[in-house]
Structure formats: C-alpha cells, structure tokens
Amino acid sequence: MGRGRGIHWLTDRQCRTLPVGQYCDGGKLYLIVDGPQSRHWSFIFWIKGKKEKMGLGSFYRGVSLLVARRRAEQAREDLAAGKDPRLARNKRRGAMIIFGEVADQVLAARGAASKKHAAALCLRAFGAIIGLCPRSSAPHAAAGERFGVSAVR
C-alpha cells in the first residue's frame, strides 16, 4: 500500500476486501483488519515521544471510509493545535461527569463545615446523580439540582 506521502490511499472496495493486516490511508489513519468480520479504524500518532492510538469506530458498525477520514481530519487538527486528540474528542462529546467535578460544584454551592462533612456531602451528591444513592427517589437531574450541581450531563 506504499504510495509515498499523501492521504486517501484506500478505496471503499479495498476496505471491504483486504485480508488481515493494518492498512494506512495516509494522514495517520489506519484500517485494522483482525478477521473477516472485524475491521476498525484507528488514528495512530505520537505525543510526548510515545506512540498512541485513538479508535475511530468499527467499519461494520457504520463508520465508513468517508466518516473515518472526517474523524481523522479533526484529530489531525487537534494534534496540530498541540492538543491530545483523545482528550479533545472527549471534551467535544461532553464526556461523563466525574467525581471531582461534582465535588467542586457541591462545595461551591453548599459549602462544608469540615473536610469530613465535605466528603460525605460530595459522596451523597455523586451517588444521587448516578443513581446509586438508595435514599434518593428523585430523578438524576432533580438530584443534581438538590445538591446544587448544575452541569449534570
């Protein structure tokens, strides 16, 4: 598949019929073929001296060559801007809310008398938001509002 530098080396037909292996489309986009029904796209790049991979989706689950190229283009733009493409993608997706975010919002909204009280308050809020707190019968959004957390995703 070596055609020198450039991008868009693969064709749609090749993506469907290539045997097991790893095939470059150019611009750090690769089609990984693991078997007859296992084909997925990866963006392979170097960041901070380390080789990294970012999955772009499965060929058989609707991620066509065109879609993979668009996703790779966005990843190349993020990389050129000095960002980790995986973190930038997760930020664009609206990645899951994490405990630290909940803790910051709860403490800002409610305050706490002590570290022990703050930890208990944060754990209760996080449990209510993700549906683990048995005392909470309110829906997740209402639980977030009850604890002063506004950015529940």
Residues 82 and 103 in one domain: no
Is residue 84 included in any domain, yes or no? Answer: yes
Give the C-alpha separation, 38 to 29, whole Å.
17
Is residue 5 included in any domain, yes or no? Answer: no
15-69 confidence digits (pLDDT tens): 999 999 999 999 999 999 999 889 999 999 998 899 999 999 999 888 999 999 9
Q: Give me the domain span that covers residue 76.
A: 12-93
Residues 84 and 111 in one domain: no
Question: How many helices (H) and strands (E) in the chain?
Answer: 6, 4
Residue corresponding to tokens 């772009």: 56
Degrees, nearest 5: CA angle 25-94-125: 150
Handedness of CA 42, 43, 48, 50 (dihedral sign): positive
Residues 104 and 33 in one domain: no
Task: Please tell me the predicted confidence (pLDDT) of residue 153.
Answer: 43
Q: Give the three-class secondary structure for 31.
A: strand
Residues 107 and 43 in one domain: no
Strand ordering across the sheet containing 21-26: 21-26, 29-35, 38-47, 50-58
